[in-house]
A and B are shown apart, each in its own frame.
Chain A
């Protein structure tokens, strides 16, 4: 009888251990795929750095497949899946069709951007992030500092993440000074690496009067930066650049005013946890000012009094005294620009 009780208890304990192991997915490695090199001081670098940091914190391996371009990444996804990746992060909106297909085909979970409707429990998660709170602060700051009373927004596409920042930037400008014009221009339908286009469009926006450019692009943002560095504003003075996502300070020549910096590590860390807890693909992720996953870069070009005002505004946004709602639809963004201009 005693042996029977011991063996039964052992069996129950062993079953419990095995079952818990079966329910909690084992996460051994995460892979991230980026269209450009993870050294662009922007979207790609923040993604790669975030994935590495999250993997390190979780004690797992990070696999980086970078510079894949904007074409078909199915072969790379299959290779990574066959290589044993527990999660594949498809870090480009252009990958959000191929990645869910490969997830279905291989059974390896994927994380995509800009397509929340593709979410599927255990298989596909979306991390369409919005830096609208930071962009709003950037807009307030730009309106405070513009000499020509005109600021520009130049984007190399209209994915939801950038739309929300464009809209919030314009709202911030108008909230600070309704007399400041907001000039909005898109380089191309998906001109993410079009540095020449970025320079050309930014030069036109500067010629239209803007002396501060809020630029959103991957490789094309270097063209915007080049335009800012080589073109004078209509008042003959310097033009400044506000970047997004990354920190271009190391390559700045004195024209970088600020940047809406994203820290994506908490998002990837949450995904790893969700995989372990079997909740992957059931929730959305966000970044914000409150936990510093979103912040505005302080550069020497920002006067101390302006920075102090911006910090006060930051507290107001965090406390909810100022409400900034994200706008993801391109049509709404453009309508907002028209309204803002008039």
Chain B
């Protein structure tokens, strides 16, 4: 068994953990912003899926991963526009619309894939990594964490950007107020609808980017239903992290590492039911975030449409 656990293998496991974590991180950060503003965005799975499709399409047609990320973000953004119109502007039930958006995106992307790619299944070439000198030479950890695509570092940077926004900016305060006491925000002269719309659109953009990363880097191909519930995991991470971006990062990484751990246990030939092994990521994330994230709370007006003047 020990001869299997070489540096190359361990690096591959950690590299895989990061690759699995990045879409969850982006989706989780987006969902967190939406929830902060009081909108429970169940449609994030559909936004990711649309981002995966448009992101792959963009990258495939132009041979540019960056253009693919742009089209992926735009794909997610477009889906989130529907959420803004129906849930933020017209106050329809956020859960029902979210489920509808997810199902609609599943059907639409499967249909588009059927007409465009279902006979050819094109694949993208391997992505060029951004190598960070010196750090990338560290055994095991170096190749896994410091030879990643540039978008991975940007995704981590976004955690700190989000933290800064929430703690140090007026926008952060507005988002918080839109989720906790939207009427107070309204009285202070800030447009609640506009604040919530901004949050939902940002969510769609980040989810679309996460989907594009999953298709273009994670898989190198788009297939129907490729997100496989990653958007819902993003919701779980955001809810358990309860407003703290860094906990979304930690949760996503724990999830990714546990996914790789399940592979390691199987490769090692541990003869316990695979279903048990594969519960590890979910149990680990829930246990960790419940233990350490329990002090923070969810916004009081989460999931409640804002109606000006309503009592």
Contacts and interface: CB of A to CB of B under 8 A. Distances in A.
Nearest to B17: A200
A230 B129 CA distance: 13
B269 A337 contact: yes
Contacts of B264: 204
Contacts of B126: 230
Nearest to B277: A186
A197 interface: yes
A24 B214 CA distance: 53
A251 B118 CA distance: 11
B202 interface: no
A330 B278 CA distance: 14
A187 B72 CA distance: 25
A280 interface: no
A298 interface: no
Interface stretch (A4-12, A51-59, A220-228, A302-310): A220-228
Contacts of A39: 114, 118-119
A186 B125 CA distance: 25
Given A209-B4, A222-B221, A194 B125 contact: no
A48 to B, nearest CB: 12
Contacts of A122: none
Q: Chain B binding site: helix, strand, loop or mixed by DSSP?
A: helix
A229 B218 CA distance: 14
Contacts, number: 152
B96 interface: no
A205 B110 contact: no
A203 B123 contact: no
B273 interface: yes
B114 A186 contact: no
Contacts of A226: 123, 219-221
B274 A203 contact: no
Size category of the B interface is 35 or more
A206 to B, nearest CB: 8
A328 to B, nearest CB: 15
Contacts of B259: 197, 200
B125 A230 contact: yes
Interface in A188-219: 188-189, 191, 193-201, 203-209, 219
Contacts of A184: 266-267, 269
Given A183-B4, A185-B267, A208-B267, A201 B16 contact: yes
Contacts of A158: 274
B121 interface: yes
Given A196-B218, A208-B4, A234-B8, A334 B263 contact: no
Nearest to A67: B110
A335 interface: yes
B82 interface: no
Interface in B89-127: 106, 110-111, 113-114, 118-121, 123, 125-126
Given A196-B228, A200-B19, 10 more contacts: A37-B113, A39-B118, A69-B110, A186-B274, A195-B223, A196-B214, A196-B215, A198-B219, A204-B13, A234-B6
